[in-house]
């Protein structure tokens, strides 16, 4: 079997590795226009900030690919001929395949703003974007970032480390209003301000204004203000890369449509990662999941189907983590920005430090845990995942809180305060008693 994979990101590479394990004799070719070798996209920001060098963001040594008989083609796939099972490349010879995986990722989403093509206006997705950003921010004094998601904050951190002034334009009333409840958003907002980022809420970009040299000189906002800037970061989300599907008969919507087995509408062609859109996502699940770990899971899952072991993609409870400058954020399961009618939410916040924990749960007799948000506290993934899969009641979760504490030496002191706050707010419920965890000494002695 010859498997051709377009895209050497986490989805493509995870599929290649799993197919190599499952079918040692398979021929596997990875095609990528972006870079000769796979790299960690979430680590791109550290290249700009000078914390890492290019070899540091490549998880595998360059010899790894030859050693595992994974053929790398550094070229752009320009056209697919599904009937002839052939991929045409910009420079090299065409490739015929028995199975094809489209793992083409995503690109910056623009909204047709006037002036968006001026020099100094860009998104942050690719290696080329980081290189361009390093070049175009050299003389910048003021930068504006439109969009307040995770990539917007990364851009802000990158620019602030080089001393540039940063203003963020955020459409919602509070930070990441479609995702974060107001209390979490307020902690992030305080963090942004502490690092010198100015945030304009309920404000949208309407126009980019240029100078005589074709470079951005200011932006106009929905509030009618003009903000001078020499650089504009577009962080309004990503859009799946669909170019290759044109004229192939592959069904697309916002992404490449796939069934539970990540199979497209054309037999023998699969899609995974940021470019894929599931036709029937599970309840509460997004059809497109533009995340690193879901890309890896989809790549590994589709490998089984390609190797004749049909396997449906089942993600399990949602998980995501990020950093807002030095404030760590983890989310597990479902935590909506506002609880639904049959849901309840308990939020604890440290009186002075940037630390918070939210337990979101069913408001019925089960009190089953639905989701967790942690800011400034690091939790253990396996413990939270099990709580969510088993629908553990919130009282029991609180009693076991120590089991989920990833850094007990740093954060153990907050567990009694969290449980006391819950008991004080729920006097009509049986009081939760925090179960004692093994201390460091007894854990060391028991090893």
Ligand X SMILES: Cc1cc2nc3c(=O)[nH]c(=O)nc-3n(C[C@H](O)[C@H](O)[C@H](O)COP(=O)(O)OP(=O)(O)OC[C@H]3O[C@@H](n4cnc5c(N)ncnc54)[C@H](O)[C@@H]3O)c2cc1C
CA–CA distance, 348 with 362 (Å, rounded to integer): 18
Q: 150-161 vs 182-194: helix axis angle to the nearest 10? A: 20
Contact with ligand X (CB under 6 A) among 3, 4, 5, 12: 12
Considering only 52-60, 97-105, 309-317, 376-384, which stretch makes contact with ligand X by CB under 6 A? 97-105
105 counts as binding ligand X under rule CB under 6 A: yes
Neighbours of 401 (CB within 10 A): 24
Instruction: Looking at residues 388 to 417 of the shown chain, list those that interact with ligand X (rule: CB under 6 A).
Output: none
CA dihedral 172, 177, 183, 186 (to 10 degrees): -50
**DSSP H stretches of helix in 24-112:** 44-48, 63-67
Residues 40-79 vs ligand X: string with x where CB under 6 A? -xx-x-------------------------------xx--
Considering only 26-34, 193-201, 368-376, 392-400, which stretch makes contact with ligand X by CB under 6 A? 26-34
CB of 164 to ligand X, least distance (A): 18
Q: What beta strand segments (E) does 334-385 contain?
A: 343-349, 356-362, 369-375
26 counts as binding ligand X under rule CB under 6 A: no
Contact with ligand X (CB under 6 A) among 3, 28, 30, 32: 32
Hey, what are 446's tokens? 């028991």
Instruction: Looking at residues 320 to 339 of the shown chain, list those that interact with ligand X (rule: CB under 6 A).
Output: 322
Instruction: Looking at residues 261 to 300 of the shown chain, list those that interact with ligand X (rule: CB under 6 A).
Output: 273-274, 290-293, 295
Instruction: Looking at residues 296 to 315 of the shown chain, list those that interact with ligand X (rule: CB under 6 A).
Output: none
Nearest to 116 by CA among 146, 160, 142, 140: 146
CB of 329 to ligand X, least distance (A): 10
177 counts as binding ligand X under rule CB under 6 A: no
Contact with ligand X (CB under 6 A) among 235, 244, 383, 398: 244
**What CA–CA distances, in Å, run from 106 to 98, 102, 288?**
25, 12, 11
Considering only 25-33, 114-122, 309-317, 387-395, which stretch makes contact with ligand X by CB under 6 A? 25-33
Nearest to 187 by CA among 357, 331, 317, 339: 357
124 counts as binding ligand X under rule CB under 6 A: yes
Contact with ligand X (CB under 6 A) among 9, 181, 333, 356: 9
Contact with ligand X (CB under 6 A) among 241, 357, 359, 372: 241
Q: Please say which residue, 133 or 169, places its beta carbon nearer to ligand X.
A: 133
Is 34 in a helix, a strand, or coil?
A: coil
**DSSP H stretches of helix in 143-220:** 150-161, 182-194
CB of 445 to ligand X, least distance (A): 37
CB of 141 to ligand X, least distance (A): 24
Q: Please say which residue, 322 or 412, places its beta carbon nearer to ligand X.
A: 322
Please work out the total of residues on this chain that contact ligand X, with binding judged by CB under 6 A. 34
User: Contact, 407 vs 378, CB < 8 A?
Assistant: yes
CB of 171 to ligand X, least distance (A): 20
Q: Please say which residue, 245 or 405, places its beta carbon nearer to ligand X.
A: 245
10 counts as binding ligand X under rule CB under 6 A: yes
Is 227 in a helix, a strand, or coil?
A: strand
Contact with ligand X (CB under 6 A) among 95, 151, 156, 185: 151
* Torsion region of 333: left, alpha or beta (phi above 0 gives left; psi -120 to 50 gives alpha): left
Is 88 in a helix, a strand, or coil?
A: strand
Is 350 in a helix, a strand, or coil?
A: coil
User: Contact, 327 vs 191, CB < 8 A?
Assistant: yes
Q: Please say which residue, 201 or 293, places its beta carbon nearer to ligand X.
A: 293
CA–CA distance, 375 with 330 (Å, rounded to integer): 7
Question: Please, what is the Cα angle at 239 between 229 and 221, to 5 degrees?
Answer: 30
Hey, what are 80's tokens? 């697919």
Binding site for ligand X (CB under 6 A): 6-12, 31-34, 41-42, 44, 76-77, 103-106, 124-125, 151, 154, 241, 244, 273-274, 290-293, 295, 322
């Amino acid at each position: 079997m010859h498997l051709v994979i377009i895209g050497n990101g986490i989805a493509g590479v995870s599929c290649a590795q799993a197919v190599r394990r499952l079918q040692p004799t398979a021929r596997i070719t990875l095609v990528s226009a972006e870079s000769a070798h796979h790299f960690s996209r979430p680590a791109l920001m550290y290249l700009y900030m000078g914390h890492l060098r290019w070899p540091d963001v490549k998880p595998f040594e360059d010899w790894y690919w030859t050693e595992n008989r994974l053929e790398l083609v550094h070229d752009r796939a320009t056209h697919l001929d599904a009937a002839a099972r052939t991929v045409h490349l910009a420079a090299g010879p065409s490739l015929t395949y028995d199975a094809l995986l489209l793992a083409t990722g995503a690109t910056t989403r623009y909204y047709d703003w006037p002036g968006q093509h001026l020099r100094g206006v860009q998104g942050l997705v690719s290696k080329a974007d980081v290189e361009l950003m390093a070049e175009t921010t050299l003389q910048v004094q003021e930068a504006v970032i439109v969009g307040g998601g995770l990539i917007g904050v990364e851009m802000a951190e990158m620019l602030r480390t080089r001393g540039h002034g940063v203003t963020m334009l955020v459409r919602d009333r509070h930070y990441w209003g479609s995702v974060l409840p107001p209390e979490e958003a307020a902690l992030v907002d305080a963090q942004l301000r502490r690092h010198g980022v100015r945030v304009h809420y309920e404000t949208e970009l309407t126009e980019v204004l240029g100078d005589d040299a074709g470079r951005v000189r200011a932006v106009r906002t929905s509030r009618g203000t003009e903000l001078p800037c020499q650089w504009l970061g577009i962080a309004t989300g990503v859009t799946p890369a669909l170019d290759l599907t044109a004229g192939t008969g592959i069904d697309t919507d916002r992404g490449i449509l796939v069934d539970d087995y990540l199979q497209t509408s054309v037999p023998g062609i699969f899609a995974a990662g940021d470019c894929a859109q599931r036709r029937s996502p599970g309840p509460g699940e997004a059809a497109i999941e533009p995340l690193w770990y879901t890309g890896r899971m989809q790549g590994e899952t589709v490998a089984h189907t390609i190797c004749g072991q049909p396997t449906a993609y089942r993600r399990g409870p949602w998980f995501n983590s990020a950093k807002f400058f030095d404030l760590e954020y983890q989310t597990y399961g479902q935590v909506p920005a506002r609880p639904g009618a049959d849901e309840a939410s308990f939020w604890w916040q440290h009186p002075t430090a940037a630390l918070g924990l939210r337990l979101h749960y069913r408001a019925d007799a089960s009190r089953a845990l639905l989701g967790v948000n942690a800011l400034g506290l690091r939790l253990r993934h396996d413990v939270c995942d099990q709580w969510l899969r088993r629908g553990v009641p919130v009282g029991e979760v609180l009693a076991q809180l120590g089991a989920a504490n990833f850094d007990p030496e740093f954060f153990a002191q907050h567990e009694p305060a969290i449980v006391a706050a819950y008991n004080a707010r729920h006097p009509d419920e049986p009081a939760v008693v925090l179960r004692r965890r093994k201390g460091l000494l007894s854990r060391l002695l028991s090893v």
